[in-house]
């Protein structure tokens, strides 16, 4: 029986990236829909639920993507409301690649080490990847700070994390790049996870190289200038100035591997829900 993936997203055009990745993960057919509104979801999901019966249901699955994470989250809620009892299919949520990226980022940082009690800073952490990385780092036992150029945005993110996941994260304000050293020193930061926009420099080389408490730096920005001066995108646990560095391509390669493994795992049974924490657990099993 052919493996069919129903791809749903609110963006006008269903993502090329996610579709190619799904085919590379062994999906036989993608039925893709862009421009999906909340009120479209029920019928589309019924089509997935009621065509193949019983054991065969596991050969159909749903992928939710798109660049706008809140719109994708509304689709995700609606999909889960539509299922009942055993009449359901597996679902993967990866709007804007945020879930697979956060899982790869934190897995690189953990790298088989215990992070218990470490002090982590998620720099420029108010976006989807930053928020998810903060939650995963807290789950690994870190004390987590989440920074933004605007304090209220950091506070908002911290509040969302507490309300939704019951996890405490400290919002911090870093108005200008020059303030970063002081902030990191004051908080005794051991881990810096840089989640800034493409081309946004967040950490100067003399800052990170001279902070004695800092042990691990990771950055998801692949576009020059990188988030961390003096890092290379291909750094994959490279030691520089006594710190371990993980660049955007090393993280991105793992992200792709996670994405493909995740799509494959959708078809094992008909009840898998791959949100970011499930994706992180999956990442740990990949042996990288």
In the complex, the residues that contact a copy of itself under the rule CB under 8 A are 1-2, 4, 6, 12-13, 15-21, 23-24, 28-33, 35-36, 40, 43-48, 50-52, 60, 256
Taking the complex as a whole, the smallest distance from the CB of residue 215 to a copy of itself amounts, in Å, to 30
CB of 55 to a copy of itself, least distance (A): 14
Q: Kindly state the smallest distance separating residue 29's Cβ from a copy of itself, in Å.
A: 6
DSSP E strand boundaries for 58-131: 60-65, 90-93, 119-123
Q: How far is the CB of 44 from a copy of itself (least distance, A)?
A: 5
Q: How far are the Cα atoms of 10, 106, 172, 241, 288 from residue 211, in angstroms, in the given order? A: 43, 21, 18, 10, 28
**227, 200 in Cβ contact below 8 A?**
yes
In the bound state with a copy of itself, the residue whose beta carbon lies nearer, of 80 and 205, is 80
Tell me which residue has tokens 């089509």. 47
Nearer to a copy of itself, 30 or 273 (CB): 30
Residues 167 and 139: their CA atoms lie apart, in Å, by 9
DSSP state of 96: G
Q: Please, where are the H alpha helices in 199-271?
A: 205-210, 248-265
Residue 24 CB, shortest distance to a copy of itself, in Å, is 7
- Residue 78 beta carbon to a copy of itself: minimum distance, rounded to whole angstroms: 14
Q: What is the DSSP letter of 131?
A: H
* The two three-digit tokens of residue 261, written as one number: 């493994």
Q: Which is nearer to a copy of itself, 19 or 209 (CB)?
A: 19
Cα–Cα distance for residue pair 232/239, rounded to 1 Å: 11
Half-sphere exposure of 83 (CA within 13 A, CB side): 20
| Shortest Cβ 287–a copy of itself spacing (Å) | 20
> Parallel, antiparallel, or unpaired: how do β-strands 243-246 and 236-240 relate?
antiparallel
- Quick one: 35 or 141, whose CB is closer to a copy of itself? 35
Question: Which residue lies nearer to a copy of itself by CB, 24 or 213?
Answer: 24
Query: What is the length of the chain?
Result: 288
Least separation, in Å, of the C-beta of 216 and a copy of itself?
26
If the CB atoms of residues 24 and 281 are measured against a copy of itself, the closer one turns out to be 24
CA dist list (Å): 135 to 103, 132, 144, 182, 280: 10, 5, 8, 24, 11
How far is it, in rounded angstroms, from Cα 217 to Cα 231? 9
Q: Which is nearer to a copy of itself, 67 or 185 (CB)?
A: 67
Nearer to a copy of itself, 223 or 268 (CB): 223
- Say how many CA atoms lie within 13 Å of 164 toward its Cβ: 11
Q: d(Cα 275, Cα 76) in Å, to the nearest integer?
A: 10
């Amino acid at each position: 029986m052919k493996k069919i993936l129903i791809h749903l997203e609110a963006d006008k055009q269903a993502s090329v990236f996610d579709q190619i990745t799904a085919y590379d993960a062994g999906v036989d057919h993608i039925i893709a829909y862009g421009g999906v509104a909340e009120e479209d979801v029920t019928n589309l999901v019924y089509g997935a639920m009621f065509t193949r019966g019983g054991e065969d249901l596991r050969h159909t699955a749903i992928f939710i993507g798109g660049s706008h994470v809140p719109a994708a989250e509304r689709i995700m809620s609606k999909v889960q409301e539509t299922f009942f009892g055993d009449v359901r299919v597996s679902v993967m949520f990866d709007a804007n690649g945020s879930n697979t990226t956060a899982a790869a980022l934190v897995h690189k940082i953990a790298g088989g080490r215990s992070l218990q009690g470490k002090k982590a800073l998620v720099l420029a952490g108010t976006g989807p990847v930053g928020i998810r990385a903060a939650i995963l780092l807290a789950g690994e036992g870190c004390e987590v700070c989440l920074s933004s150029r605007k304090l209220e945005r950091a506070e908002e993110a911290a509040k969302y994390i507490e309300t939704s996941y019951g996890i405490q994260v400290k919002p911090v304000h870093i108005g200008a790049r020059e303030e970063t050293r002081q902030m990191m020193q004051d908080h005794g930061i051991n881990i810096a996870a840089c989640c800034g926009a493409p081309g946004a420099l967040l950490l100067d080389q003399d800052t990170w190289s001279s902070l004695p408490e800092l042990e691990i730096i990771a950055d998801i920005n692949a576009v020059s200038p990188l988030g961390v001066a003096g890092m290379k995108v291909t750094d994959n646990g490279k030691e520089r100035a006594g710190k371990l560095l993980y660049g955007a391509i090393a993280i991105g390669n793992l992200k792709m591997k996670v994405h493909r493994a995740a799509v494959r795992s959708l078809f094992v049974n008909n009840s898998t829900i791959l949100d970011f924490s499930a994706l992180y657990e999956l990442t740990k099993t990949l042996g990288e």
